[in-house]
A and B are shown apart, each in its own frame.
Chain A
Amino acid sequence: MEDRNHLGKIKTTNRVEVIGNGLIDIPMLQLLKPDGSEHESAQLPELDKTLALKIHDTMEYIRILDERMVAAQRQGRISFYLASTGEEAAAVASAAALSPNDMIMSQYREQGALAFRGYTTDQFMNQMFSNKADPNKGRQMPIHYGDKALNFMTISSPLGTQIPQASGYAYGQKMAGNEAITICYFGEGAASEGDFHAGVNMAAVLNCPVIFFCRNNGYAISTPSEEQFAGDGIASRGIGYGVKTIRVDGNDPLAVFAATQEARRIALAEMCPVLIEAMTYRLAAHSTSDDPTGYRSRDEEDKWRAKDPIARMANWLTHKGWFDEKQNKAKVDQARQDVLAALKVSETIPICGIEEIVEDVYDSVPWHLQDQLTSLKAHIKQYPKKYPKTSGSVR
């Protein structure tokens, strides 16, 4: 109790002085310049060639996947998609600094973290086509991935709900004595939700080993960050809640990696939360249902295109002598082919049988759902043409 009774630490003043903004300057960690060259005084993280290439290749793969799936949505093959163009470093390089047994609780634009963990093109496709090969059983809109084997919690649409959940998950890891943490991704818009404030405060008070990773990408659909908050971004809130905090250039893969590695070390060693605010830019539309030309200029986008994280990483790899242009082109071509081939297969895989509509509501199907299923099946049998996706399997 005494260590938290902070009244004793407060100094007294005799002057009426209202405190404004800007008491603390929170700098942004940047190790690579936008052109990929190293800052002279930069302390680079230890990163071997294999891991550095994996970070680069995963970012590039995600960009290919995003481009292809936006096109697939335009063609009417899937109902919805949400690209992470321009923000690939934030998700991929942070995931690269984690251990595979760390839990990832993401928002919905962190497909890079999932790909880094080893989620395959087929898995991405099966989820997006809601087919029966998806372990999530086609129950959610495209991009709501989840995979137990990869410690990637199934995504839900409501914003910010995963933040207090991550605190609770991390508390469970601590109580179980696991050498593992939870990372929780969210955007600067979601950080306006009550769940952000609840979750970060609880993690601080209850000493939960969790990394809160904010992708401050400038926009919540059309609302720019200037209309989202008046303070110094999201990082200043971490400090307000007594949470160790670092701000990082979200388009600098090395800086994101270094910051996350340090955050993980602190979270485990000190059993406490750490907040990372990654400054980046959503070059993509919010989703395929959005059109950014209505609220921002091409000029603005071009300025951020020049800070592209993939090109920055490729340039750095080239400086290191680790980048083979020809090999990379072969990988890109292969990825394009793989994505297209997987898409063609996935869209032909049927959806789950109608019985699945009542499964997993509870651990077993209760009487009222059994009754409802029985009536539904009888009805489908009566009108098979109205329900072509399931009538074939209803006997």
Chain B
Amino acid sequence: MAKMNLLQAINNALITAMTAEEKVMVFGEDVGHFGGVFRATSHLQEKFGKGRCFNTPLTEQGIIGFANGLASQGAYPVAEIQFGDYIFPAFDQIVNETAKWRYRSGGQFDVGGLTIRTPYGGGISGGHYHSQSPEAFFAHCAGLKVVIPRDPYQAKGLLLASIRDKNPVLFLEPKRLYRASIADVPEEDYELPLGKADLVQEGTDITLLGWGAQIEILQKAAEMALDDGVSCEIIDLRSILPWDAEAVINSVMKTGRLLINHEAPLTGGFASEIAATIQEKCFLYLEAPITRVCGLDTPYPLAHETEYMPDETKTYEAIKRSLHY
């Protein structure tokens, strides 16, 4: 065990993966000698050489196109998109190519070795273009897996599983936790399961569901609610696609209430999908309407970032409304 922040855990996972398998290659803008703008790829080029960790020209569509080809050849590319906000030039390569590669060829070819890493989310005064949470766009895209860790321990285990998974994975990293979240992380190799939620805290009165950086918001709100005698169950979904409906259903059948929190805008956010499924599966168990605490349907603001955020006070108020419905 070692104390690591989230960036160090990611760096450690990449070193672990590259040591175990020489076909793991890491590339993107500034990831080479410089080690990435957040330093997630520090020292990889020194350790593994320029052939396996390298800078690319500044072209997201090129990075993912290249990564698709490399993965189809049998390698394990770990492509970095510097900010999730800049993933959209690669949208065609991801949606039309990455996600459909295996299906369209009848399983003859695949890009299962591909992992796309990108920082997402706000809370860093980044404005429109350094704060977005694009997970819902990709959740609509059959053939992809979408994974989001909440802390350094989860980050290492989930990233190693993503790199080795036989399907392409979009790995979204909560950038406001990069240095803020510190945890004990095993130095050895380990994986955490994709497509499985994690029970963060047991409770009996309401289920609070989220992922990534919002888990700590849910924990703060749960503490506030505990002062009122409310027992919250907290679930980290961890994978958006495919998502662990069973874990959520079991929890909601027990608590009778569900609150979903995400940073991305409300309309068409992944909470909508979860709410639709849970009302169908748990209709007669629900004591109150499923509630969503999300970002506003605006572009991500700068001066009003604090107001925009689905924070612990908004979450706490939504818990009370659900309890008193």
Which residues of A pack against B, CB within 8 Å?
103, 105, 134-137, 139-140, 144, 146-148, 153-154, 156, 158, 161, 163-173, 175-176, 182, 194-195, 197-199, 201-202, 205-206, 359-363, 366-368
Contact = CB atoms under 8 A, between A and B. Distances in A.
B108 A165 contact: no
A168 B106 contact: no
B93 A164 contact: yes
Nearest to B114: A168
Contact of A175 (B51, B101, B242): B51
Given A137-B106, A146-B105, A158-B92, A201 B70 contact: no
Contact of A146 (B59, B108, B246): B108
B110 A154 contact: no
B143 A134 contact: no
A169 B246 CA distance: 39
A296 to B, nearest CB: 30
Interface in B241-285: 242, 245-246
A170 B89 CA distance: 22
B89 A168 contact: no
A134 B110 CA distance: 17
Contacts of B64: 164
A171 B57 contact: no
A161 B92 contact: yes
B100 A198 contact: no
Interface pairs A-B: 10 shortest CB-CB: A164-B65, A168-B69, A198-B62, A172-B73, A165-B69, A154-B105, A137-B106, A168-B66, A168-B70, A169-B69
A139 B103 contact: yes
B93 A161 contact: yes
Contacts of A165: 65-66, 68-69, 72, 97
A161 B106 contact: no
A134 B25 CA distance: 33
B237 to A, nearest CB: 14
A363 B57 contact: no
Contacts of B142: 361
A161 B102 contact: no
Contacts of B103: 139, 360-361
A147 B62 CA distance: 25
B84 interface: no
Contacts of B68: 164-165, 168
Interface of B: 23, 25, 51-52, 54, 56-57, 59, 61-62, 64-75, 77, 89, 92-93, 96-97, 100-110, 112, 142-143, 145, 166-167, 195, 242, 245-246
B108 A202 contact: no
A363 B103 CA distance: 10
A194 B195 contact: no
Nearest to A161: B97
B104 A363 contact: no
Contacts of B106: 134-137, 139, 146, 154, 360
B107 A202 contact: no
A164 B108 contact: no
A9 B54 CA distance: 25
A273 B72 CA distance: 19
Contacts of B92: 158, 161, 195
Contact of B73 (A163, A176, A361): A176
A360 B104 CA distance: 8
Contact of B107 (A158, A168, A170, A359): A359
A176 B102 CA distance: 22
A368 B104 contact: no
Given A168-B69, A199-B65, A199-B66, A362 B59 contact: no
Nearest to A168: B69
A195 B61 contact: yes
A167 B69 CA distance: 7
Contacts of A147: 108
A218 B61 CA distance: 26
Contact of A161 (B65, B73, B74, B107): B65
